[in-house]
A and B are shown apart, each in its own frame.
Chain A
Amino acid sequence: MKVRKVSPRPKNEQRSAAKRHPRNKWRVHNKKIRNSEPSHLSPSPATAKLEHQLASRQKLKLKRLQKVYPKTVALTPEVQVKSKVTTPATLPHVHTNGGMEVKNGSDSEDSQEWRSYAKSILQNGMGRGGREGRKNSSLMAPEPFEDEEVPKYHAQHDHAQNHTVLVLQQGQSLCFRGRCLLTCLSGRVEVLGFTIEQGQQPYPLFSPPSHCPLTITALEDCTPSIKNKKEGRLEAKAIIRKYLSSEPRKRLLSEVDSDSCVVLLQPLDTPLTRFLSSFSELNQLFDINSKELRSQAAVHDPALSAVGVTALQGPCSRGLVVSQSYREALTSLLSAWEDFDRCPIILVCGAKNSGKSTFNRHLINSLLNHTASVEYLECDLGQTEFTPPGCLSLSTVTEPLLGPPFTHQRDPDHMVFYGQTDCRADLDRYLDSLKTLWRHYSRENPIIINTMGWVKGHGFQILVDLIRFFSITHIVQLSYGDTLQCNSLTPEFLRAAQGWQTHPPAQPTLAVEPANHFTARSHVLLSIRSEFEAAGTAGEMRHQRSNELRDLALLGYFSQLQSAEPGPIRPLHCFTPYQVPHSAVAIGVTHCEVAPNHILYAANASLVGLCCLGEKVAGRGGPVLLSQIPICQCVGIGVLRGIDMARGLYFLITPVPPALLRQVNCLLLGEVTLPKMLLTMQHGVETELPYVTTDYSFDITGAGKLNVFKGLARPCFGKAKMKN
């Protein structure tokens, strides 16, 4: 095991490197660590680790350059730029991530701009790809991370104002876990495809261990580099002076250069984070995950940890793994505006865990660099991006997505409550719901259609239907491994493919769109081969299971109830509910048959979709039941907190504003249930909790749920024997 602890700070290192007092006796109790250190670097095995680090770092910087050059000569000059970040002054002004200065006024029609932007993505990407390729190459001995540069961040924390100023040199990146609020003070940085530059609003970043870690990358400045270097440096220094008090300031000033990026990191304290941290089960939600712990990826930096950020190093700090095909797909999507006389309609599909959501977020963020808004149609019931699970929705996205779904639960423009986390039970209702949503699409903005991971059998037929219904212009098909998980959705294939509701020869589309003639045109297929490590396998770590993520999304949704000002976190059962008479709202169950006279037993303390039926609901005193499940607008979800039979009232807790709530006349129950912890942890309730028991034993035969048979190989002889 190699000890790679991060040094407190550079100055310190230099000092310790200068003084080389072998202090054997001070290390006698620390044999293990000492022995693992390569002795050739230090005159004595007991020499400070700091010295070792400094020595190795200096050495490695050179080594690294040597290494990168031969590998990257075949690529664009950009690669060298990237690897030569330590000497940025010598660079000519290479294209940058383009046109940020005109960003605010940009419109999607400006093809020139798009082209340059797309190009820049490509080249940037290739730069990254060069390194990635090096890392990923299976030919490389296991050595690559050994000599990886130990990241060193110039960050200083100001205790008085409780924020940290981080200086990143061009091309330097910070891959991290945790959460913070990022403001760019000088220069430009990129996070998951989104460029943040000086003068923009602060953006919250969430990098929980369940997802790919976020990376803050400093970009080159796009303003002409003719700008006086000294001026630039002074400017940056002035900024640092403004944000830091004298003591930490001193340490940072020496690190600032005219072209370094200065970002301000503040601790993030929102109703969401406060609500989540009120659950003890979630106390490590923003810590590093167990895999990173094992590989000792955390960099100890008090200035960063003071604002809730843990930097990563080593193999875990790779961040988003962008494969060649991924980059190319992104590039061609960004340049799609030129070739099309209408907005691109992009459908992203692929099997489970192939990286759809991350690609979507990356794509949306990249698009938002240039267009004010992107539309998003959610067709994945299980892992919804903006809404609670079990809902289909159409959203307008104007803010970048710098975190997993539970951190950006937003009200969609239109939503239909489906009630289950997959659509198997009722394919027609699923398709009809989506068609309803599609009618609301304005066609003025690009739209991204996210699909479910079910790409076999009927799931594939549904995919074919969606492509036909929505006149898709671009299909992004993600796959992993050596074989495709389903047929490639080429235009030729679609001409003959059988859908669930659509059929190939007769009518190409059954959609009621006026834009039928568009379907005659075929789409562009962009195949992406995901190359990240765990592609195709479901996450097994904490908070990675899909049901845990759904619970988090629901908690994220209900955190909207918490007051914006810091104050006590209220458990859900402490909010003042709304009430409505039984006879004024209809109630229905979407996922199974429930005896009508017992439906309220199923409804009590359950999640309900708040829907608006077209017709008026007026019962004669008692509850109104739905005989079939309608497809109608859903304004949000709520918790049926209680049912008062005496007064004939439902009590409902919901973050939906009263103005929307007044339209609600239908409550739909679904299979998506309240997160268990909301029921099991009701602090302050001393009486027995309803629906909660400690006496139920799963050890008893038949106590568990139906085992979903996950295709375990059943040997033939076993079958034969069974039949006897």
Chain B
Amino acid sequence: MKQKQKLRHVVAWMSRAEWEQLLENLHSGQAALQTHALHRLSAWRGRFGNNTPVAVESTANLVRCRVLDSTGKLEGDDLVLLYSMALTRFVNIILERQQGKTAKPLRRLAGKLNIPEWIVNLRHDMTHHKLPSLKWCRKGCEFVLNWLRQEYWSRQLNGRLIEDWSSSSEDEEDEEERSKKHEEERARRQREIEGHKKARDLLIHYEREQFQVYEELLRRNSVHGPWPDASSDLSWILAQIKQFSSESRDMLIDALVQDGFLIPTADQLEGLGIDPSEDLLDLWAPCVPRVFLRFWFPLWKVLNSPLFVTLILEKLFAELSNEPTNHRAHYISAWISEILRCNSRSESKAIRKLKMMEERIFVSRVSFQWQELITACLKAPCPATPFLLQLILSDMEKPLPLATQQNLLRLCSIYTQSNHGDSSPNNTDSSQPVYTLESLRERLARATQNRHAHSPNHTPGSAQAPPTTDLQEYLSAETVQERNAVLRGSPWSVCTVSHQAEEAFSLSPASAQSDLLILGIGCTLLKKSLSCFCWSNCLGFGALL
């Protein structure tokens, strides 16, 4: 998405209209219009400074020669000198960019750009040999102006052509931009690697600390009793994890769902006295082993912000959809069910018990995006999907119609080939439901895409910039008065925004009325009015006729 976003360039013309007007004048063939265009180009050069495009500069030089030629006031030799400089500069500066590390013959470079050899020879004559005749100069100028028009002026600001144009750019500005991008990209990746490593390190520290607690419990033979309060070491690690999660939450979540953390390895399970064999897993209704839950409980406790819970749930579902191994799928779905159960509205007995034991991984109820949750759940089919779906459905704030719920569950069971208690055994007509599920999934996928388009998975905090009107500085009457008092006696004053003008300052594009005004120095300007509170205020383009 970012790739497609076009770069914004700062240019010397205020609008496309100004560009088009200049283009028309330049190639009008009328001396008066061309002079006007040359004058405007001088203003552009003032704006561009060193960044004036070489094609623009060459065009200005050559058109100037043509205009001076057409006045008939200059002698032939004068004109040859003028033309010579303009043409020599054109060849040199347009080909300069084509040069690589070592100098190449100009003719070959020119060939690449469709500049015929005779133009290059003309330039060589002008710089090294006998000056060419005025006739040749005019011919050369004519040709080059046409070339510039074709290669630069008609192509530029012409969206369609640009798309077709080869993407290999030899331009310095783009190169600079690209190397900058590249460097940024590399730095970003490095930052990511660092972040991930840090996340893992923190979690390993945590695990090690907790494991010791467990061993201590084991020694005292009270594994099933309550775990002690966090030691100072543990709370220090937790504080660090919390700090880290506030900086780079995504990385922490990524690390957490890797094997060895929330998804225990067999070794880890053994260490906690849990039989790791897969046969014992209840794939249909997974739950996290109590000991393992307690093991992670202190971490959940510091990370229980609604945002974190939402994000990790999202992440868990995403992982589930990556077709993990049975073991992984089990623990992922077990954590999902744990989160959902903790969030459950209905205070079932079990929950109340958990609450009493303070073993809910988070306390305050999080209001999930239920629709999206269902989507995510359905996108990650696994044996436990019906179970999870049931949890979600029963917990929604605005529950779906009962029939819909039933249908969804049934479809789900069929898809995952599970024998969920709800699904009626006689519903064997598989083609219809699967088809429906497919379409359902398709629709849901589309919905998800839409959602992603609307809200990139950044933190919701990165809000859009507030509209300008809110940021507009409103000076109090006293401040204005104060400033004006200081300025009294000078021509300066604080811009007085009359009521009418205030309207214009706001973002109404309707105020683009254009009145013709005569500027004191003999230039006709089209007033574009204070249309919006951006940089344009008044200057439009003008035509001197």
| Chain A interface (Cβ < 8 Å from any Cβ of B) | 5, 8-9, 12, 15, 19, 21, 23-30, 33, 48-50, 284, 289-290, 293-294, 296, 298, 300, 302, 305-306, 540-542, 545, 568-571, 573-582, 584-585, 589, 591-602, 604-606, 619-623, 625, 641-646, 651, 657-659, 661-665, 669, 671-673, 676, 679-680, 682-707, 709, 712-715, 718-719, 721-723
B339 to chain A, nearest CB (A): 23
Give the contacts of B462-519 with A (CB-CB under 8 A). Answer: 465-475, 480, 483, 486-487, 489-497, 507, 509, 515, 517, 519
Residues of B within 8 A of A19 (CB): 212
CB pair A699–B174 under 8 Å, yes or no, is yes
Q: A698-B174, A700-B151 are in contact. Are A5 and B198 (CB under 8 A)?
A: yes
CB closest chain-B residue, reference A707: B96
CB pair B539–A604 under 8 Å, yes or no, is yes
Per CB-CB distance, the 9 closest pairs between chain A and chain B, nearest first, are A622-B520, A642-B537, A702-B55, A684-B468, A25-B267, A584-B491, A595-B39, A683-B465, A602-B46
Interface residue from A620, A663, A682, A715 paired with B490 (Cβ < 8 Å)? A663
Residues of B within 8 A of A703 (CB): 53, 55, 152, 156, 171
Per the bound structure, the CA–CA distance linking A724 and B328 in Å amounts to 74
Q: A25-B265, A577-B495, A644-B537 are in contact. Are A706 and B204 (CB under 8 A)?
A: no
CB pair B16–A693 under 8 Å, yes or no, is yes
Q: A298-B194, A598-B523 are in contact. Are A695 and B12 (CB under 8 A)?
A: no
Per the bound structure, the CA–CA distance linking A672 and B208 in Å amounts to 58
Give the contacts of B181-201 with A (CB-CB under 8 A). Answer: 183-184, 186-187, 190-191, 194, 197-198, 200-201
Q: A571-B471, A698-B171, A701-B151 are in contact. Are A26 and B46 (CB under 8 A)?
A: no
CB closest chain-B residue, reference A590: B46
Per the bound structure, the CA–CA distance linking A671 and B12 in Å amounts to 13
Residues of B within 8 A of A598 (CB): 39-40, 42-43, 523
CB pair A690–B535 under 8 Å, yes or no, is yes
**Cβ contacts A to B, 14 pairs, < 8 Å:** A5-B197, A24-B267, A545-B176, A596-B521, A604-B536, A646-B515, A651-B495, A683-B466, A687-B532, A687-B534, A691-B14, A693-B11, A702-B56, A702-B152
B525 on the A face (CB < 8 A): yes
Interface residue from A12, A298, A594, A658 paired with B43 (Cβ < 8 Å)? A594
CB closest chain-B residue, reference A250: B232
Give the contacts of B441-478 with A (CB-CB under 8 A). Answer: 465-475
Per the bound structure, the CA–CA distance linking A545 and B173 in Å amounts to 13
Residues of A within 8 A of B487 (CB): 578, 658, 661-662
B243 on the A face (CB < 8 A): yes
Interface residue from A23, A290, A576 paired with B494 (Cβ < 8 Å)? A576
B327 on the A face (CB < 8 A): no
A26 to chain B, nearest CB (A): 5
Per the bound structure, the CA–CA distance linking A473 and B315 in Å amounts to 69
Interface residue from A289, A574, A700 paired with B152 (Cβ < 8 Å)? A700
CB pair A582–B520 under 8 Å, yes or no, is yes
Interface residue from A606, A662, A696, A709 paired with B9 (Cβ < 8 Å)? A696
Give the contacts of B43-96 with A (CB-CB under 8 A). Answer: 43-58, 93-94, 96
CB pair A302–B208 under 8 Å, yes or no, is no
CB pair A705–B483 under 8 Å, yes or no, is no
Interface residue from A15, A578, A594, A600 paired with B495 (Cβ < 8 Å)? A578
CB pair A684–B507 under 8 Å, yes or no, is yes
B433 to chain A, nearest CB (A): 40
B279 on the A face (CB < 8 A): no
B346 on the A face (CB < 8 A): no
A605, A651, A680, A719 — most chain B CB neighbours (10 Å) = A605
Q: A579-B492, A689-B535 are in contact. Are A699 and B166 (CB under 8 A)?
A: yes
- With A584-B492, A601-B44 already in contact, 16 other A-B pairs whose C-beta atoms are closer than 8 Å: A5-B197, A8-B237, A28-B265, A575-B473, A576-B480, A579-B495, A642-B538, A645-B519, A665-B491, A685-B468, A691-B12, A692-B10, A695-B157, A715-B102, A722-B105, A722-B106
Residues of A within 8 A of B483 (CB): 658
Interface residue from B42, B96, B97, B101 paired with A595 (Cβ < 8 Å)? B42
Per the bound structure, the CA–CA distance linking A373 and B463 in Å amounts to 45
Residues of A within 8 A of B480 (CB): 576
Per the bound structure, the CA–CA distance linking A705 and B536 in Å amounts to 25
Chain B contributes a number of interface residues (CB within 8 A of A) equal to 145
Give the contacts of B129-183 with A (CB-CB under 8 A). Answer: 148, 151-152, 155-159, 162, 165-169, 171-174, 176, 179-180, 183
CB closest chain-A residue, reference B14: A690
Residues of A within 8 A of B171 (CB): 698-699, 703-704
Residues of B within 8 A of A591 (CB): 46, 49
Interface residue from A9, A21, A694, A700 paired with B8 (Cβ < 8 Å)? A694
Interface residue from A592, A620, A707 paired with B97 (Cβ < 8 Å)? A707
Residues of B within 8 A of A644 (CB): 530, 537-538
Per the bound structure, the CA–CA distance linking A172 and B123 in Å amounts to 67
Residues of B within 8 A of A685 (CB): 468, 507, 532-534
B527 on the A face (CB < 8 A): yes
CB pair A8–B205 under 8 Å, yes or no, is yes
Per the bound structure, the CA–CA distance linking A121 and B208 in Å amounts to 49
Interface residue from B467, B509, B535 paired with A604 (Cβ < 8 Å)? B535
B354 on the A face (CB < 8 A): no
Interface residue from B46, B165, B538 paired with A592 (Cβ < 8 Å)? B46
A527 to chain B, nearest CB (A): 34
B6 on the A face (CB < 8 A): yes
CB pair B43–A602 under 8 Å, yes or no, is yes
CB pair B535–A691 under 8 Å, yes or no, is yes
Give the contacts of B205-242 with A (CB-CB under 8 A). Answer: 205, 207-208, 211-212, 233, 236-237, 239-240
Per the bound structure, the CA–CA distance linking A313 and B199 in Å amounts to 20
CB pair A694–B6 under 8 Å, yes or no, is yes
CB pair B157–A696 under 8 Å, yes or no, is yes
CB pair B491–A585 under 8 Å, yes or no, is yes
B104 on the A face (CB < 8 A): yes
CB pair B53–A293 under 8 Å, yes or no, is no
B30 on the A face (CB < 8 A): no
Residues of A within 8 A of B471 (CB): 568-571, 574, 683-684
Residues of B within 8 A of A695 (CB): 6, 16, 156-159, 162
Q: A594-B46, A673-B47, A700-B155 are in contact. Are A691 and B13 (CB under 8 A)?
A: yes
CB pair A29–B205 under 8 Å, yes or no, is no
CB pair B535–A605 under 8 Å, yes or no, is yes
Interface residue from B101, B211, B521 paired with A712 (Cβ < 8 Å)? B101
CB pair A662–B152 under 8 Å, yes or no, is no
Per the bound structure, the CA–CA distance linking A702 and B520 in Å amounts to 36
Residues of A within 8 A of B438 (CB): none
Q: A573-B468, A579-B492 are in contact. Are A48 and B208 (CB under 8 A)?
A: yes
Residues of A within 8 A of B534 (CB): 573, 682, 685, 687, 689-690
Per the bound structure, the CA–CA distance linking A388 and B502 in Å amounts to 32
CB pair B509–A687 under 8 Å, yes or no, is yes
B459 to chain A, nearest CB (A): 13
Residues of B within 8 A of A577 (CB): 495
Residues of B within 8 A of A646 (CB): 515, 517, 527, 529, 538
Q: A21-B212, A696-B11, A705-B50 are in contact. Are A592 and B473 (CB under 8 A)?
A: no
Per the bound structure, the CA–CA distance linking A602 and B43 in Å amounts to 5
Residues of A within 8 A of B47 (CB): 601-602, 606, 673, 691
Q: A570-B471, A663-B490, A700-B155 are in contact. Are A597 and B10 (CB under 8 A)?
A: no
CB pair A589–B46 under 8 Å, yes or no, is yes
Per the bound structure, the CA–CA distance linking A712 and B100 in Å amounts to 9
CB pair A28–B45 under 8 Å, yes or no, is no
Residues of A within 8 A of B212 (CB): 19, 21
Interface residue from B51, B58, B155, B200 paired with A697 (Cβ < 8 Å)? B155
B425 on the A face (CB < 8 A): no
Residues of A within 8 A of B532 (CB): 685-687
Residues of B within 8 A of A296 (CB): 194
CB pair A600–B491 under 8 Å, yes or no, is no
Per the bound structure, the CA–CA distance linking A318 and B411 in Å amounts to 65
Per the bound structure, the CA–CA distance linking A664 and B486 in Å amounts to 13
